[in-house]
């Protein structure tokens, strides 16, 4: 757990200063690792994997369409905002009972 | 002016109702643990959404376009993330559970130093964040209501202080929940009306594609690294904002957490519709020359003026509600830090609810002077306040509470180091690489101090505090 925390801290500082574009690529890994860290004392880790894959797909699409005015905006809104909007609270409620 | 007078009268009425009901610390600081998921969710979202969202957000869209949306793209999962990482550690089914963030840290980590440093961080961050609300009130007065900024800020802060000082969160919870419902409805309505005035969302996008294409695409005018940095800041930041964590202290029982993310996410998404709708429509209207904007913060007021007096009135009410709910939480948190956490950290008894009322008044006065005197835009003041809490508290809340080897002294040092790094970097923000967010850099520094310090403490042998903590075993 401490290793993940230190890796995230050093990774952010290094990438933000020396390779900011790579920060985007590292984002899903960092968020997934953060979730795994938070879940390390719990029974559920599949949520972290699902989250990482969704975020990676969303960010790859955003990078791909970064110069397409309407498509880029549409992708960001649809994939990164609207799609998870109903799913995440539902998943939390569904898994809450199992964790409790 | 009529709106402000009505708000003052309503605040006075609420204060009279609540003053006799909030005599105990549990009632004053945690609303007596009376809230279910709907009440806590609406109130929590209202406290989370401030003038920053209603005034600063659309203004930031004018400057950065789609780039500004990276601050809010994490909204679909932050509610669940907060409940999962923080809420499930905070909400316990017993009446004597912690009711402030510094108290929670002492309860979980042991040692009074961490409570003292956390209380100072909460106090400093609350005054800075309250200044954002005062600044937003001044902008509201100058642009929506055509009143003097100082006068508007003074009246608004007086109204908030009246019911918050008298009734604490017993009054604040009810007011926040009502304000949250109003904000959600008004935000969706105004976003729709603004987009309709611009000819619909597709027409607005066509306008910007033709006239300001640099604002569209996936990142707008932000570098992708900067967008990623802001996304991370606002995805993880909610875990460390004391006014977000505060809603968990209001809950009646642990099972209320199950439905809380749905309420939080739905209410937040409705309110953020205004950021996107008014931002997109207003920027398109400005590109067409139908409105003229001198400062980014003027975008939302000018769009409302274009829509008509009804929109100005509704927007004024929504912005007022946003500022009041957020400011009420910060005032209460600051009062708790001064009258409950700092005395406890010094080994003394709490100062009581009477002193908390006076501290609330003093904090409001200091924040009003600080906020109205600042010449920074609301959006950047908001990011600075958010970043401070993220830098100071994220390492201990997200890592410290979950890591069994975390020690109290390194946790206190991590809070101080994170806050210090954030403040230093915030002062030199203009010279920083675009992707470096002071709040995240501070949190990273704090995390390093926490981990290295805890390992060093462990090598030096168990401390009294850690032994006491092990004996209590408060972790789940």
Question: How many CB atoms lie under 10 A from the CB of residue B254?
Answer: 15
So where are chain B's domains?
2-377
Residues in chain B: 476
pLDDT in tens, B173-196: 888 888 889 889 999 999 999 999
Contact B255 A34 (CB under 8 A): no
- Give the pLDDT score at B303: 94
Q: Which residues of B touch A89 (CB under 8 A)?
A: 79-80, 261-262, 264-266
Beta bridge partners of B251: B35
Burial of B13-48, coded b for 16+ CB within 10 Å and e otherwise, reads ebbeebbebbeebbbbbbbbbbbebbbbbbbbbbbb
Interatomic CA distance for residues A35 and A49, integer angstroms: 9
Question: CA–CA distance from B422 to each of B121, B323, B411, B445 (Å)?
Answer: 12, 24, 17, 9
Contact A16 B440 (CB under 8 A): yes
Question: CA–CA distance from B322 to each of A2, B123, B284 (Å)?
Answer: 38, 21, 25
Contact B435 A15 (CB under 8 A): yes
Domain range for A22: 2-99
Contact B455 A2 (CB under 8 A): yes
Interatomic CA distance for residues B178 and B268, integer angstroms: 14
Looking at the partner chain, which of A21, A51, A61 has a beta carbon nearest the beta carbon of B224?
A: A21
Contact A41 B402 (CB under 8 A): yes
pLDDT in tens, B121-141: 999 889 888 888 888 788 777
Interatomic CA distance for residues B277 and B198, integer angstroms: 10
User: Token pair of A12, please?
Assistant: 């952010």
Non-local (6+) Cβ contacts of B235 within 8 A are A31, B74, B77, B78, B81
- Give the pLDDT score at B382: 63
Window 15-44 of A: residues touching B by CB (8 A cutoff) are: 15-17, 19-24, 26-27, 30-31, 34-35, 37-41
Interatomic CA distance for residues B225 and B213, integer angstroms: 20
User: Token pair of B107, please?
Assistant: 């309860």
Interface predicted TM-score (ipTM):
0.90
- Give the pLDDT score at B381: 63
Give every residue of chain B whose pLDDT is below 70, as ranges. 1, 3, 22, 93-95, 144, 374-384, 461-476
CB B68 within 8 A of CB B61: yes
| Number of domains observed in the structure of chain A | 1
The CATH architecture annotation of domain B2-377 reads Up-down Bundle (1.20)
Size of interface A-B (CB pairs under 8 A): 177
pLDDT per residue rounded down to tens, chain A (100 residues): 778 888 888 888 888 888 888 888 888 888 777 776 666 555 566 777 888 889 999 999 999 999 999 999 999 999 999 999 999 999 899 888 776 6
Beta bridge partners of B35: B251
């Amino acid at each position: 757990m401490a290793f993940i925390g230190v890796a995230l801290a050093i990774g952010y500082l290094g990438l933000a200063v020396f390779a900011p574009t790579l920060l985007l690529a590292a984002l899903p890994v960092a968020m997934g690792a953060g979730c795994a860290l938070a879940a390390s004392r719990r029974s559920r880790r599949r949520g972290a994997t699902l989250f990482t894959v969704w975020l990676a797909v969303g960010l790859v699409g955003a990078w791909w369409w970064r110069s397409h005015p309407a498509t880029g905006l549409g992708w960001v809104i649809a994939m990164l905002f609207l799609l998870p909007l109903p799913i995440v609270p539902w998943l939390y409620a569904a898994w809450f009972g199992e964790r409790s | 002016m009529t709106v402000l007078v009505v708000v003052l009268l309503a605040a006075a009425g609420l204060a009279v109702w609540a003053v006799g009901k909030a005599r105990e610390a549990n009632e004053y600081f945690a609303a007596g643990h009376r809230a279910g998921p709907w009440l806590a969710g609406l109130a929590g979202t209202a406290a989370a959404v401030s003038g920053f969202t209603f005034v600063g957000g659309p203004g930031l869209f004018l400057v950065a376009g789609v780039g500004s949306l990276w601050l809010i793209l994490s909204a679909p999962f932050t509610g669940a993330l907060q409940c999962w990482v923080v809420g499930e550690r905070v909400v316990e089914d017993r009446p004597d559970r912690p009711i402030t963030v510094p108290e929670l840290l002492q309860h979980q980590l042991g040692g009074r130093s961490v409570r003292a440093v956390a209380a100072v961080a909460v106090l400093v961050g609350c005054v800075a964040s309250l200044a954002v609300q005062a600044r937003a009130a001044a902008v509201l007065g100058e642009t929506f209501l055509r009143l003097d900024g100082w006068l508007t800020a003074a009246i608004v802060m007086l109204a908030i202080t009246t019911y918050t000082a008298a009734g604490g969160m017993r009054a604040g919870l009810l007011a926040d929940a009502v304000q949250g419902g109003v904000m959600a409805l008004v935000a969706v309505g105004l976003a729709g009306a603004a987009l309709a005035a611009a000819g619909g969302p597709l027409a607005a996008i066509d306008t910007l594609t033709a006239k300001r294409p640099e604002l569209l695409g996936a990142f707008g005018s932000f570098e992708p690294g900067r967008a990623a940095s802001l996304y991370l800041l606002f995805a993880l930041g909610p875990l460390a904002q004391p006014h977000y964590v505060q809603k968990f202290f209001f809950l009646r029982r642990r099972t209320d957490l199950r439905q809380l993310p749905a309420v939080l996410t739905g209410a937040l998404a409705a309110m953020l519709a205004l950021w996107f709708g008014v931002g997109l429509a207003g920027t398109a209207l400005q590109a067409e020359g139908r409105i003229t904007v001198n400062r980014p913060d003027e975008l939302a007021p000018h769009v409302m003026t274009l829509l008509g007096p009804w929109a100005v009135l509704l927007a004024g009410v929504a912005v007022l509600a946003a500022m009041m709910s957020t400011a009420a939480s910060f005032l209460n948190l600051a009062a708790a830090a001064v009258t409950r956490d700092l005395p406890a950290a010094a080994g003394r008894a709490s100062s009581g609810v009477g002193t908390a009322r006076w501290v609330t008044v003093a904090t409001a006065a200091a924040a009003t002077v600080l906020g109205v005197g600042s010449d920074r835009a609301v959006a950047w003041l908001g990011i600075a306040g958010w970043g401070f809490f993220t830098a100071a508290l994220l390492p201990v809340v997200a890592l410290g509470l979950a890591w069994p080897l975390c020690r109290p002294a390194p946790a206190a040092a991590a809070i101080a180091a994170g806050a210090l790094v954030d403040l230093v970097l915030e002062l030199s923000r203009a010279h920083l690489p675009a992707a470096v967010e002071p709040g995240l850099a501070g949190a990273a520094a704090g995390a390093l101090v926490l981990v290295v310090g805890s390992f060093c403490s462990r090598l030096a042998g168990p401390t009294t505090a850690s032994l006491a903590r092990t004996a209590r075993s408060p972790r789940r």
